[in-house]
Structure 1
Amino acid sequence: MLQQPHYRSPKLLIVYASYGEGHIQAAKALQEAYSDFGHDKQHIVTYDLMAESHPWINEMTRRFYQKSYTHLPYLYGWMYDITKPMKHNSLFGSWLHSFGRQKVRQLLAKEKPDAVVYTFPLFAPQELQRQGHRIPSYVVMTDFDLHCRWVHPGIDRYYVPTQDLRAELKQLGISHNKIKVSGIPLKKGFKEAKPSPELYVKYGLDSSKPTILIMAGAQGVMPHIQEMCENILSRSSVAQITLVCGHNDELKTAVDDSISGEHSSRIRTFGYVNEIHELMALSDSLVTKPGGITLAEAISAELPAFIYRPVPGQEKRNALYLQSKGAAFVASQLDTLVDRMLELVHDPLRLMNSRLHIRRLQPSANPSSATAAQTIILDIVSNLRIINHASLF
């Protein structure tokens, strides 16, 4: 456990939304980090604001998000791009930020938090008043692309993944004192995971062979997975695959049934994996959907990412950003993706160079012993301590 602070634990309300796994995972990572500092677990509350305040609208919009993502991706991308420069006080922006207003008022009365932390841009800052004092609010960004929905004058500090995002916020007029490059919060296992003989045995892998990790997403919706696996195994006599199918049991069954003979000994299939940091620690490359959390995990594990046909919107922008930094490769053709991936995993020098590029994306502000989540929590608690001290005078 990290050193325990010698002052009262502040109470934090963490607000997220269940559109994808990333916002939830970030909230859980912050909750975990809060406990690492010795704070009382009862002093941190996580809340799915949209689901609790508007359950019917939440379910409808989640279904639309999932359907547009898989069946109408260009519609989702168009909506993302057209609202990207949206101002908080525009007609549409004001309408979006109105959701959850009554629920926030009730939460503040019930929980009496010292601060509100957002891992999803669903703000109700006009409600953040208690006993005549404004409650500090903090944003934890979970993507590598800046959508202006994250930007609001009621936010006291922004925690961002990269220096580039910090520069973009400054261009929008946000004071540099309000922006901290922290990285995206991940569970602490990513800081601790190392390859070991025990892990190779646990996952049935050969430590002498290059390992390609394929993550189909939490819902297992990445396209052409079965063809990708067959392509890799037929074109490399040594590469082995770990395939994580998420909650898509049909995908796992289909791959298990289709790959047989000598190739079957070089593939391991899994459903949803909680200890994904362990598989990343054993891998030489990653094929994945480019969600912000997953890419942050790859950066933490110094794992080159290969992105196949990213969906327009924040995921495509995430992918292109990492590609511009030499940390990922984006392909629209399956053969091209497999070619580049096999070239990398069979060339130790090229693999080492790729990992050097990835290392440059790791926030230098974090102490080597601290995770991004711990850095964020420490900064918030320290900031609250300063605010409380100032209020005494």
Structure 2
Amino acid sequence: MEKVRSFWDIIDTRDDTALPDVKVDPDDDFCVMYTSGSSGHPKGVVLTHRSAVSAIQSWLFSIQVSNLMGWAPNPPIDDDGNAYQPCTMITTPFFHISATHAGFLLALWIGMKAVILSKWEPARAVELIDREQVSRFACVPTMSAELLEAAARMGSTLRSLRTIDSGGAKRPASQVAEIAARVPHAMPGTGFGMTETGGPGIGMRGEPYLQNPEAAGRLQPPLMEMRIVDDEDNEVSVGEVGELLLKSVTNLRCYLDEPQATSEALRDGWLYTGDLARVDEEGVITIVDRKKDMIIRGGENISCSEVSAALHLHPNVIEGLVFSIPDDRLGENVGACVYLSANCTTTEEELKDFLVPHLASFKIPKKIWLRDAPLPRGATEKVDRLAVRAEYLG
């Protein structure tokens, strides 16, 4: 072709060109990743080279622990019994840390093939999983739900998959059970990490997850420390709810050009996550809610995630979001919007009646908006809470 030159032809003409001699310290800045901004403006998270390398090594250590505990997925083997190269599918954009660190950099480190989606299309994902023999699939919960629907529609068993992990939001317990039933050769898993932690945090997979799908998992060894504290920074007892604090070499150095936000989030090496959590006697951690997403109705604390989990038990609810709405008498009350299955006739009153055996009466939403389209999402595929509130509350 005219005016087209081979990359290697260009390289061959530059034999005397040398790479610059750049000295890199482990604590030099490596990248700036932006938070999703789903509950406020996005912040630039400054991560170091040490953070990135330590995050990958931490995940590799966790894989070895899973192997020793018997929680590792089956090796990738085709129908003829032949092993094939492990392969991951990267489903989120590369400005998201789950794509760059847990996806691409981890694959690069261990020699795992990576299939990169330019955008999320369930049918295309099924096609590529089958064609490229993808063994590792990680996503947000809505994606895994849509993947299962597309696979059933296309007659695919997703036979190459060995893990179906999720993060970014809590996966409904019904979906965890559905994965185990419909894709028994693939272990469902979950993880809780943040841009601010460089990716690592909490996670679990396999039987422990199936037995306790509401939990986020165990602290990721060996580089992560945890505290759960009350508003006075006192550690709470086992089973009590408090704010989750994480300390790790993988944590951010600072927020870019935001010293006040940095000082609020990082104190004595501890990252104040803004998430409410509890831990049981066995070290299993459950994320209860975002601290700022707790609704205070007439002095009673109501967890948005608890109400959301109850809504997701209804067979016609595909996804929902719970948030506070103003109340002249109580200060705040419970509101929700739900995306319903096509052609269903479920009404707001039917949903409220459905919630009666699952929630205390004061936790049942005062108002439920019904919608026939998915909830709005940001670029990282998290539900855009601000957009939802603006749509229904102005």
TM-score relative to the length of structure 1: 0.31
| Greater strand fraction, Structure 1 or Structure 2 | 2
- Which structure has more relative contact order (CA 8 Å, sep 6+)? It is 1
